[in-house]
Each structure stands twice: as C-alpha cells, then as structure tokens.
Structure 1
C-alpha cells in the first residue's frame, strides 16, 4: 500500500481528491496539507501536489516522490528546471484510473508524464544557452538515446533488453554511460534531464 499526502491550497480540491482515491486498496491517504513543507516525510511515500507555489518553495530533496497536477506547460518547464524532485506530471483533469496508475508508478520509482503536456513542452521554443543536447560535453549515442526513451516509457532493464534485442548487461552499460554524460545518478533524474534537453519525445 502506497502512503499518499494530498497538497493543495484549495480545500475543496483536497477533499475531492481524497474521496476519489480513498476507496482504492493500493493507496492509503495519510494526510492533507496546504504547503509542501508541511508534509510529514516519515509517513509519506507519494505527494499528490496541486500547488505551483509549493513546488518552487521547496529545496528539492525530499524523502517522497511528487506527482504534480497541472495543465500549464510553462509550470511543467519551470518544475523540470527547478531542484524539486518531481517524478510525474498529470493533467488536473486526469481520470481516477490515471491518478491511481500515476501514484503507483511514481511510488515504484518511475517517471510519469501526461502525453499532451509532454508533447506541448517539446514544441515550446528553448531559450538560453545550454538548453539543448549541444550543452553536453559528450553527446549520447543513438543506442543510449533509445535506452533513455525506453526508460522514460517505464520499462525495466530486462524489458529494455528484450525490446532492443540486447543483453541486460549491455543495457546497464549504456545506463552507466548516459548517467555520466547527463550528470545524473538515477533513472528519474535521467528522464528529467532528457526532457529538459529535448532528447526524449514521448
């Protein structure tokens, strides 16, 4: 069972989300909060967050995963460029099934992205220096990009190996290499960085 805290300054929204999720065996609602910093980290595994201001007030490193609800593409970009440990973004109009699936996925350490939001994000112009793949000291190989894309789809190493017709050992080798090139230390950070650089098209 995944322990979830709902964070939003909107009381009605918190109540609605609690009612929607409370009847599912996979999820236990352990609390509600107006601000992210008020979340009990010891009790919470996943935060369902519907507050843009809270995202930008946090220092980034938390002991829980964050699933952010928004339809604002610029907010998504701001989150990806922040230090916040956001592991997923879904529409505020996500269905009950999508919310459950998203919570379960981030609870397992996977990255979740609503297709429409990610596609809109990829179409936005990228301003500033170092915002694209050219900012990497060493570009990813075509195979490393494939591994990164499959990882963004939520596939485990064994599944990636089957899809790409390579060994699981080779997948791990590519992961180590792309982690080093992207300057990250986890699957979640790699996907987040890949989206920032426009390397992933979901």
Structure 2
C-alpha cells in the first residue's frame, strides 16, 4: 500500500519565535510537511514556489495588526486553491468570528493550545473536518440567529373528526383505496377529505400534512 504524502503546512505569524515554534512542531510530526512561513499572507505567497500547502496555520496575537488580519484574503487569492485554515487566537468575539473569518477556517484553537491539539487540528482541517474548543462552540451556538417562527403560530382551522381519521391513516402510510375501504366510503370522498385537510393545514403533500398534523396536535405517531 502506497504511503500517503504528508500534509503540507505553512505558517503565518508576526512573532519570529512563534513561527519557529510552529515550524519545529510541524517538522517533528511525520504526517506533516513544512512548506514555509512568513509574518503575513502577502509575504508568504512569494515563497510558495509551486508547492501549494494543504493547510495554513495563522497565529493571531491579541493586538494583531490590520496587515495580519487582512492576510487571509491575500494568501487565498494568491494561491487560487481551496486551502484549509487553522486559526490560533484568544479573541473569541463572536461578531469578529462571524464577519472577519473566511469560510476556509476549519479550526479555531487558543494560542496556548497543546502541541498535540495543534497537530490534531491541522490533520482534521486537511481532512475537511472542523475543530472548535467547547467554549467557542458554545459561544457560536449561542450567537446563532433565532429560528424562524413555527407554523403553529399561525391560526389553523380545526379538523373534523372524519378528517382526523383520514389524517391518522395517512400517517400509517395507507393509500386512498385502503382508507376508503376501512372507512367504508368512496375514493372520491377520501379525495374530498384530503383536499380539506391540505387546505386547513396549508400542506402541499401527504407527508407535509402528516407532519403539520402532528405539530398541531391533531394526531400522534
């Protein structure tokens, strides 16, 4: 079996000691391969030399300059490749994460994350997986937009006893002919009841009618 090539990694960090530390970590990990590093994205792309990375690790200091924050787009535009980004930051401001971080960011870790956590995040990002610390995940979930109002907030006309019977049989997966046989009514009468049920619930299909019937408490499955 052919051995998989190492994940190609580049590093963006303003501090030289941080760049050196991340390079040493990548060099010490057999599954990773170091491609290059730079203080910002614009300088980094000059050193690609045809060897595009799989993952870019970006260290974002608390007082990071605007140049570094804008290096996301610079690196991505220059490579013209769908790179995965691993962001090391202590800034968990939700508005900034939503607005400034590009879709390519696959992992967000604190800057003091353990070496093993950084390696795992790089490998996960290369595989298309997302990595978030529990506290950041909780903040992101808490910052989601409120769900759309449920249809139950709209006035629904009550179903008749017969319509509820027909709806319950729909939920059991019965067809029109079987419903007609069990209720001793004609196929046309079944169609009439279905039309009334769809109109009252605002449904456009049998499945939707069943789901809305359950949501509004007309039937239970």
TM range (shorter): 0.5 to 0.7
C-alpha deviation, 1:83, in angstroms: 6.2
SS state at 2:128 partner: coil
Equivalent-residue separation in structure 2 for 1:88 and 1:46 (angstroms): 10
Q: Unmatched 5+ residue regions in structure 1?
A: 136-202
C-alpha deviation, 1:55, in angstroms: 3.6
Q: TM-score, with normalisation over the residues of structure 2?
A: 0.51
Q: TM-score, with normalisation over the residues of structure 1?
A: 0.55
Residue number in structure 1 paired with 2:189: none
Residue number in structure 2 paired with 1:167: none
Backbone CA RMSD of aligned residues? 2.6
Residue 46 of structure 1, aligned match among 55, 60, 64 = 55
Equivalent-residue separation in structure 2 for 1:110 and 1:58 (angstroms): 19
C-alpha deviation, 1:132, in angstroms: 3.6
Change (3 A) 1:18 1:123: same
Task: Please say which structure displays the higher CA radius of gyration.
Answer: 2
Matches within 5 A, 1:1-202: 1-40=6-45, 42-51=51-60, 53=66, 54-59=68-73, 63=81, 64-74=83-93, 77-82=95-100, 84=102, 85-123=104-142, 131-134=145-148
Check conservation: 2:9, 2:26, Cα contact below 8 A. Answer: no
Q: Unmatched 5+ residue regions in structure 2?
A: 1-5, 150-221
Deviations 1:109-148 (A, max 9, x none): 1111111222234446x7xxxx44339xxxxxxxxxxxxx
Change (3 A) 1:104 1:96: same
Equivalent-residue separation in structure 2 for 1:113 and 1:27 (angstroms): 21
Equivalent-residue separation in structure 2 for 1:29 and 1:57 (angstroms): 19
The 4+ residue runs of structure 1 with deviation greater than 6 A are none
